[in-house]
Structure 1
Amino acid sequence: MPLLETIETALNTFATYAWGTPLLVLLVGGGLALLIYSRGRPYRHLGHSIDLLRGVYDNADDPGQVPHRQALSTALSGTLGLGNISGVAIAISTGGPGAIFWMWVTALVGVTTKFYTASLAVMYRGPDSSGEIQGGPMYVIREGLGRRWMPLAIFFAVAGLCGLLPVFQANQTVQLLRESFALPLGWVREDGSFWFNLGVGLLLAVLTLVVIVGRIQRIGRLAVRIVPSMVVFYLGLTLVVLGYFWRELPAAFALIFTDAFSGQSVAGGALGTVISIGVSRGAFSNEAGIGTESLAHGAAKTTEPIREGVVAMVGPIVDTLVVCTCTALVILITGAWQHGEGIEGVSLTSEAFSRVFGHWGPLFLLVMVAPLAFSTIVTFWYYGVKCVSFLFGTGAQRFYTPVYILLIIFGAVASLTMVNSLVIGMYAMMAIPTMLSTLLLAKRVNRAAHDYFTALGLEKRAARKPRHPGD
């Protein structure tokens, strides 16, 4: 139909421009500005996150809904999964090995960005229509910048409501199950798998409903079990592959660094293409500055905003510097990226693992990805509930949840080109209010960080000298 084709083209164009140079400059340039403005303070206190995650500073009477480690696990459950598996493969396929270097750059800058956004998420929590204290970019804008900035808060909530739909995760989870499990066993045919897709979609919907009945507390408990165990499992798989091809490791790292500044692996040797692909994939992977991290970290039980900022810094390290690097090295050292003609995304990663584990490779990936994809689905429900409650009041949750459950089933059986373009484009839009509000309020985070770390004896208080208001 011409109308549908026109809409699809328009949405594809929207998604392309949404993740264009201006947004990447805002995310990476803004993060670099925060790094310089903070004088590297977040990195100097990264070790403090260990004590926080161990629960040394936990207090059950503090305001909030979940402990620090559950808030971090919830945030990670929204980023870890298919993006770390297929996203890295797409980056290498389209931008060459050098794109991985620029993903690393995005993560290193993102450490600072998450420190600021998560600190603000606790610093400027505000009441919803039921009087319950909530965190997230829309509350940061409303409580920190004032009512005249409300259009920016509404813009984030609308973008979040459209960008945090479960259709992509449901669709890709079903596809991975079908290709890695059902097809080899002969349960489905290549030319038709509607009933299998529907059955898996219904199962995902029921399991999601069981979890979300317990709200953020149950989501946090689920995430804190799934995320660490799946990361450890994936690291174990990767170590086996690295051990098998250990002689290729130096060449793989050399290729990443040299290609990052040459662009020879992409058409025409376009260095700008390598940088753009690497930065966009990195930003999409760890979500630093997008705002979703604030929705999760804003629920932490603490009276000290800087504590949650320190905890949030671990996110880009685990997500991009560890998990994405594991995926990249496996694809490069096995040679799958050069010899897997016509293979892209999760299939390329699957091919790489198959070179060591045989037909078990895709199944091992499935064991890791399926739980993480499910945890993403339930986490996105929580994010969406926060957005819809901000826009329409907490009573609107009873309408949002049934729609969300139906979208899981729809995503499992439908072709989602148009919807995915909308989701990806609106995801990018969330970064605009998040980064703008963070940059405007950065001075207050610096002041709070100085006071907090000084009180702990982690910084020397400036002797008898007036402190700069931005410190």
Structure 2
Amino acid sequence: MKKYLLSIFTLILPFLTTAQETTEVGIDQQIDQAFKPVSDFFSSVIFFQIGGIPFVLILLVGSALFFTIYFGFVNIRRFPTAINVVRGKYDDIDRPVLEEMYGDSTPGGDAIETIRDESQEGEVTHFQALATAVSGTVGNGNIAGVALAIALGGPGATFWMIICGLLGMSSKFVECTLGVQYRDVGEDGTVYGGPMYYISKGLKEKGFTMLGKIAAVFFAIFCIGGSFGGGNAAQSNQATIVLKELMGLESTSAGAIIGVILALLVGIIIIGGIKRIAQVTEKVVPFMAVMYLVACLYIILSNFSLIDDAVALIMKEAFNPTAIGVGSVIGVLLVGFKRAAFSNEAGAGSASIAHSAVKTKYSASEGLVALLEPFIDTVVICTMTALVIIIFNFGGYFEYGGEGSVMIDGISYEGAGITSMAFAQYIPYSNVFLTIAVVLFAVSTMISWSYYGLQSWKFLFGRGKTADLIYKLLFLLFIIIGAAASMKSIWDFSDAMIFAMVFPNMVGLFFLFPVVKKQLKRYLDAIKAAKS
């Protein structure tokens, strides 16, 4: 353990030394200047445009629309079925086969590897699966991402976030079904799954072995990038913003110092394997998520008379945007879609890495559970955050549009800082609560994404301890970069890495969606047989 922590310290020592030696330009600005060209490059490559629209968004939304129609509006028609699966109504269908397959143990053993909690008897419930998944999904994408969307695109971005969330339910259903269908089980019973496995194994079945291998490798590379960006740097970036605002830190090296502290904390968990800290996080984060939702509801209901005004403004601005810099319906649509996709990750494939390890013989059952996540995350929670910010800004505190940062009383706020100001208007000392929530959400998200990235790293470089350590040290480095660099640079890079995953993932989805339809029919037939 000591040598691992020494490795972390060695990794961050150059940053600390530079921070002490710098006189004119702070370490935060130096890191941002060094990182910005990297961010700009990846953003320009991934978000190349066709007719003024980034092709990746056309692919993402077009695919989600296709899957919605092909599967007979599974996101709507099968919504009641998904609720019943979560309630455990159909658990008996799986039980005999699960006992034969697994006995009384769960593959992988840990909640982060299985996404489901284990009861004393070793059985797992769909409600536990959804609760664990949602607690991991609710986080800075809902707090900072929504604030960024409103600041950039105005209230109308909320409408397009909702549309993207509804369509994304179908994409998540497809990819999580495939994640279970093509998972790989190691000799020790640990389950490995996700797009890199269903792309390579699934396309091999179809006779496209080489294409499957190439696409799987690209996905693994992009997923590692996603773990460094959206699952890491963007999280530490927002945690740093709220911590600096709460403590009034103005030092040009404050971000790097906070990043070092966060890196040490996360390093102890992911390198040292101190499960007790992770277990505490697993209990605290759902509590913070519930408290966040209660706070949102309190603010919204306290301003009940303004809800219809907020909804009317959302609808009006969705089709006639007035936010500075948006320019058109396409502009506000892109802002909404980008932030929704970042929040719920539908179409990127990352969720299937976690879902693939669940105990079931019906892969479509987990796909149905998974389709509820974009609904809860984006349609419900993101909308609540948006309403809070819009209601707050009826007071005319800031102008929509620009670069995403807003001026309130002469002070610049961005991301989670905007949400914090909205909360503070209605709830005393809420800035302290929201700061704690953002930091905890950031840490828990980083832990989860370190698992996603590590699975992709293992796929590329094998399952040895040395390879694992190299990945984890690189992961910790990006925590410091995220904390020190500017929000725009970090979020541009994070968006690029998350959306890059869409390209190889869609190769797998378009080749294998008939398999999903077959598995859905198989599961629905089993439900009908159980009823008769």
Does TM-score exceed 0.5, indicating one fold? yes
Q: Residue 150 of structure 1 aligns to which amino acid in structure 2? A: K
CA distance in 2, matches of 1:223, 1:449: 35
CA distance in 2, matches of 1:324, 1:381: 24
Counterparts of 1:55-454 in structure 2, within 5 Å, are 57=91, 61=102, 64-65=107-108, 66=114, 67=116, 68=126, 71-72=129-130, 75-76=133-134, 79-127=137-185, 132-146=190-204, 147-148=209-210, 149-165=212-228, 166-180=232-246, 182-183=247-248, 188-190=249-251, 193=254, 197=258, 200-209=261-270, 212=273, 214=275, 225-267=283-325, 269-335=327-393, 338-340=396-398, 342-343=406-407, 344-358=414-428, 360-395=429-464, 396-409=467-480, 411-413=482-484, 421-454=492-525
Q: Is the 8 A contact 2:139 2:441 kept in 1?
A: yes
TM-fit CA distance, 1:295: 0.9
Q: Residue 184 of structure 2 aligns to which amino acid in structure 1? A: G
Alignment match, 2:48: 17
Q: Which sections of structure 2, spanning at least 5 residues, go unmatched?
A: 1-29, 109-113, 117-125, 400-405, 408-413
Question: Helix, strand or coil: the match of 2:366?
Answer: helix
Q: Is the 8 A contact 1:120 1:445 kept in 2?
A: yes
CA distance in 1, matches of 2:394, 2:251: 24
Q: Is the 8 A contact 1:223 1:375 kept in 2?
A: yes
Q: What is the TM-score of this pair, normalised by structure 1?
A: 0.85
Cα deviations by residue, 1:120-145 (Å, 9 ceiling, x for unpaired): 10011124698843110010011111
Cα deviations by residue, 1:327-363 (Å, 9 ceiling, x for unpaired): 10001112268423534322221121121124x1322
CA distance in 2, matches of 1:416, 1:91: 13
CA distance in 2, matches of 1:170, 1:6: 20
Percent identical residues: 34
TM-fit CA distance, 1:171: 3.0
Q: Is the 8 A contact 1:233 1:368 kept in 2?
A: no
Cα deviations by residue, 1:259-279 (Å, 9 ceiling, x for unpaired): 211123344741111111111
Q: Which sections of structure 1, spanning at least 5 residues, go unmatched?
A: 462-471
TM-fit CA distance, 1:256: 0.8
Q: Residue 393 of structure 1 aligns to which amino acid in structure 2? A: G
Q: Is the 8 A contact 2:75 2:166 kept in 1?
A: no
Question: Measured at CA, do residues 49 and 3 of structure 1 come closer, stay the same or move farther in structure 2, by a change above 3 Å?
Answer: closer
Most deviating of 436-445 and 388-397: 436-445
CA distance in 2, matches of 1:45, 1:292: 23
CA distance in 2, matches of 1:85, 1:151: 36
Tell me how large the CA RMSD over aligned residues is.
3.3
Cα deviations by residue, 1:67-110 (Å, 9 ceiling, x for unpaired): 35565455445543222112111211221211110100001001
Most deviating of 116-125 and 276-285: 276-285
Match of 2:69 among 36, 54, 59: 36
Q: Residue 233 of structure 1 aligns to which amino acid in structure 2? A: M
Q: What is the TM-score of this pair, normalised by structure 2?
A: 0.76
Q: Residue 365 of structure 1 aligns to which amino acid in structure 2? A: L
CA distance in 1, matches of 2:133, 2:198: 17
